[in-house]
Every structure is written in structure tokens, then in C-alpha cells.
């Protein structure tokens, strides 16, 4: 079974979400949780971006960048000062990595960088070579890869690899790609590079396809996935760590891979990132949303009472949820209602239950939710 390495980029790309600012101590708290989950690679920030970023990377490198800990990364542009700054911030990490980011699409080369493809190739070779002279683990990330001419993308990845990069990243920077298209790009890159080169996904969610594109990339041969907790990130966010990890874990019959992530900590780290970012997840968010494992439909509840697998593909405890998953409301049936009443010490005979059920339906149709107090009031007035 192929091992997919999870590279968490919450502390860099996730922090680029509007209004988010992780202080160095915040970053350390999140990084400690990621390490506890057995996340093998943590991108701790963009060293040259600010003194706070530098301090956060340095702090994480010292505290958890130990020999048996995760790889600690810093992003750097293809600029010597960026690379030197990243190396300095990572000096305490036992397993440091620099991720060099450089735009490769014609639209970025022309309008953002004001250069042609030939100049781009020279810069990539020079800067990757320079980084490799300072640090052994170097990744090259082709910004806007999915809007880059595929032949040029393959060419520039080969230049980066020949200069010393051992990882190449394929960002869908503006969330433009589709699963079939993204998979075909990964495949084209994969067949052009030596087998020992790691290919990484990096997908944004502008069209709601970040997780789907990531999974398609893994199916096509990528062995590293860049993700963020809660899908946090710029604009519509990034591929969600919890969704990618649980999709791979739940559908091993399809993907035949493993991540070695301890999923029991997923809910806790989701809540921590919500707290420190100030951005809560929607209630119906997969895996970590408040409603992710709740059942209110009478048909579903009846199935759940008989066998949870009828309507639940993940054991909630597997990702850190505990407690009752059945919600009593206007859609609930008699069996669920009777089960709920027994839990609060109310036992009704069949005829009494029929009468109670009629009154319950009338009350529940007028309220957004039913509480234990409501059930007790109906019983007392029965």
C-alpha cells in the first residue's frame, strides 16, 4: 500500500485567509497538535514575510523539529534573500525543507513577473541550485501550474529536479482545474520525472473542487498532499486535511493508500484552528461540522437504531466525536422517541406512547428544535 505524505500548510497558506493572524505561540500550539496526529510535514510559514513568521518557524523548529519529529518547511520565493532567510529560520530543525515557489503560467510570467519562459527557466535552475547548496531537502512549487502549458511545466520541473529539487508541487493556485484535468496533469508530470521524485498536490477551492482534485492527483501518482485544517486558506480556501485524510481512509478499496495519520485528534485540531483563526466551520461541514454525524430523519434514525452502518460510513469516534448522534425533532419516528424518553426516565405503554406522539408532533412542528425540557413538559401534561 502506497504511503501518502500529508504536508500541512495551515500555518502558511491557511494563515493567508482574510483576517487571520497566527502569532508564533499560536503556530506552535497548532504544530504540536499536528505532530501528535503524526503529520509528517509541516509548512510553518514564509520566513521573510514578517518577523512574526520568522519567529514562528524558528520556534516550531526548536520545539518539535526534532530528529524523530516532522519535517519543518518554510516557503521562499526564487530570490536569494528569501532562501537565506528560510535557511536561518530553520536552523534548529533536524529535518528542514525549503519550498521554492515560482510562477510558471504565461499569464503570471507576463503580467506578474514581466519575463519570458527562457528567463524563467534560468531563474529556476539558479535558485534551486542555490537552495540545494545550503540545504538538502528542496521542493520546487510551480505557482499557477494548472494554467501553465503542460510541455513547459514538464520542462521546468525537469530543470528544477536536475538542479537538486527532490519534490515538485503542482498548485491549482486559483482553483481553476477539474478532477479529470488535474489528474492528467499529475500523470504527465509523473511519467516525465525519475521515480524517486515526490509529486505533491496543492489545490484551492474556488470551484469547490479542491478535495476532489487532490484525490484525483493521488490516483494519478502524487504521493504528497498539501492540505489545511478546516480547508482554511485564501479566498475559498484549500483542500481540507480532514476530508482528504478520511476519504483516503474510508475508501481504501478505491485509492489503496495510507496516510498513517492518527485521525482521533481531527476534531480537537479543528476546534483549535477555529479558536485561533476566529473562523468557525459551517455546521454541515464534512467530518468536523456540528451536524456531520447527527441524524434527524425518522427513516434514518430507525436505520441507525438497527445498525449504524445503514446511514453512517465513518465511526464518529474515529475522528474525535463522542455522544449521541440522534436528534429528536419533528421528523423523528415513534421508535426513536421511545428510545429518547427511556434515556430520561420516561416509560410509556403503547397506548400512552400513541397519545404522547400526537402531542409531540404538534409541539415539534412549531419549534426549531426539541429539548429534554420539552419532552418532560409534554409528558407532565399528558
302: pLDDT strictly greater than 90 = no
Q: Which residues pair with 141 in a beta bridge?
A: 101, 169
Q: Is-contact 358 381, C-beta < 8 A?
A: no
- Of 47-61, 150-164, 363-377, the poorest mean pLDDT is in 363-377
CA 161 – CA 164 distance, rounded (Å) = 5
Which superfamily does CATH assign the domain made up of 2-277 to?
Aldolase class I (3.20.20.70)
40: left (phi over 0), alpha (psi -120 to 50) or beta: alpha
Q: Please give the C-alpha separations between residue 125 and each of 48, 169, 188, 248, in angstroms, as whole numbers.
A: 21, 16, 21, 35
Q: Is-contact 240 211, C-beta < 8 A?
A: yes
Q: Which of 14, 46, 21 is nearest to 236 (CA)?
A: 14
List own/partner pairs for 251-255 with CB under 8 A and 24 or more apart: 252/1, 255/215, 255/218, 255/219
CA 102 – CA 87 distance, rounded (Å) = 18
CA 244 – CA 39 distance, rounded (Å) = 13
pLDDT for the residue 218 = 98
pLDDT for the residue 1 = 84
187: pLDDT strictly greater than 90 = yes
Local structure of residue 71 (DSSP, 8 states): E
CA 41 – CA 20 distance, rounded (Å) = 22
Q: Please give the C-alpha separations between residue 160 and each of 48, 95, 129, 164, 288, in angstroms, as whole numbers.
A: 22, 21, 8, 6, 38
What is the grid cell recorded at 214? 487532490
Which residues, 6 or more positions from 368, have their beta carbon under 8 angstroms from its beta carbon? none
pLDDT digits (tens, 9 = 90+) for 261-296: 999 999 999 999 999 999 999 999 999 998 888 776
pLDDT for the residue 372 = 67
94: pLDDT strictly greater than 80 = yes
Q: Which of 250, 272, 274 is nearest to 261 (CA)?
A: 250
Residue by residue, DSSP assigns 223-259 as: -EEEEBGGG--STT-B-BHHHHHHHHHHTHHHH-EE-
pLDDT category at 324 given cuts 50, 70, 90 is low
What is the grid cell recorded at 37? 496526529
pLDDT category at 356 given cuts 50, 70, 90 is confident
Mean pLDDT for 348-355 is: 80
Portions of the chain given CATH number 3.20.20.70: 2-277
What is the grid cell recorded at 288? 468536523
Percent of the chain residues past pLDDT 90, beyond the cut: 77
Q: Please give the C-alpha separations between residue 307 and each of 33, 117, 145, 273, 290, in angstroms, as whole numbers.
A: 33, 59, 46, 33, 22
Cβ-based burial of 204 (10 A; exposed 0-12, middle 13-18, buried ≥19): buried
Residue 87 C-alpha from the chain's centroid = 26
Helix (H) or strand (E) holding 201: strand 198-203
Amino acid at each position: 500500500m502506497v504511503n501518502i505524505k500529508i504536508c500541512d500548510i495551515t500555518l502558511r497558506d491557511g494563515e493567508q485567509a482574510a483576517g487571520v493572524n497566527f502569532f508564533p505561540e499560536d503556530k506552535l500550539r497548532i504544530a504540536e497538535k499536528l505532530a501528535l496526529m503524526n503529520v509528517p510535514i509541516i509548512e510553518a510559514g514564509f520566513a521573510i514575510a514578517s518577523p512574526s513568521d520568522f519567529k514562528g518557524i524558528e520556534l516550531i523548529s526548536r520545539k518539535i523539529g526534532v530528529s524523530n519529529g516532522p519535517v519543518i518547511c518554510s516557503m521562499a520565493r526564487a530570490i536569494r534573500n528569501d532562501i537565506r532567510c528560510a535557511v536561518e529560520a530553520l536552523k534548529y530543525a533536524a529535518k528542514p525543507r525549503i519550498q521554492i515557489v515560482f510562477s510558471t503560467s504565461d499569464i503570471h510570467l507576463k503580467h506578474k513577473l514581466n519575463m519570458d519562459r527562457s528567463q524563467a527557466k534560468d531563474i529556476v535552475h539558479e535558485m534551486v541550485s542555490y537552495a540545494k547548496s545550503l540545504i538538502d531537502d528542496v521542493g520546487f512549487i510551480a505557482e499557477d501550474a494548472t494554467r501553465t502549458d503542460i510541455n513547459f511545466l514538464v520542462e521546468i520541473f525537469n530543470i528544477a529536479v536536475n538542479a537538486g529539487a527532490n519534490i515538485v508541487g503542482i498548485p491549482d493556485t486559483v482553483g481553476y482545474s477539474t478532477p479529470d484535468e488535474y489528474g492528467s496533469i499529475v500523470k504527465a508530470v509523473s511519467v516525465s520525472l525519475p521515480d524517486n521524485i515526490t509529486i505533491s498536490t496543492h489545490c484551492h477551492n474556488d470551484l469547490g473542487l479542491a478535495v476532489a482534485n487532490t484525490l484525483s492527483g493521488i490516483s494519478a501518482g502524487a504521493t504528497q498532499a498539501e492540505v489545511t485544517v478546516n480547508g482554511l486558506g485564501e479566498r475559498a480556501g484549500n483542500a481540507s486535511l480532514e476530508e482528504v485524510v478520511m476519504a483516503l481512509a474510508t475508501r481504501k478499496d478505491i485509492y489503496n493508500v495510507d496516510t498513517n495519520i492518527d485521525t482521533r485528534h481531527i476534531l480537537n485540531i479543528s476546534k483549535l484552528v477555529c479558536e485561533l483563526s476566529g473562523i468557525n466551520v459551517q455546521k454541515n461541514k464534512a467530518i468536523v461540522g456540528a451536524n456531520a454525524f447527527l441524524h434527524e430523519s425518522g427513516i434514518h434514525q430507525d436505520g441507525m437504531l438497527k445498525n449504524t452502518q445503514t446511514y453512517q460510513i465513518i465511526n464518529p469516534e474515529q475522528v474525535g466525536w463522542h455522544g449521541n448522534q440522534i436528534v429528536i425533532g419533528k421528523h423523528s419516528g415513534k421508535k426513536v422517541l421511545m428510545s429518547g424518553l427511556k434515556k430520561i426516565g420516561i416509560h410509556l405503554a403503547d397506548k400512552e406512547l400513541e397519545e404522547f406522539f400526537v402531542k409531540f408532533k404538534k409541539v415539534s412542528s412549531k419549534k426549531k428544535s426539541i429539548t429534554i425540557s420539552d419532552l418532560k413538559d409534554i409528558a407532565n401534561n399528558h
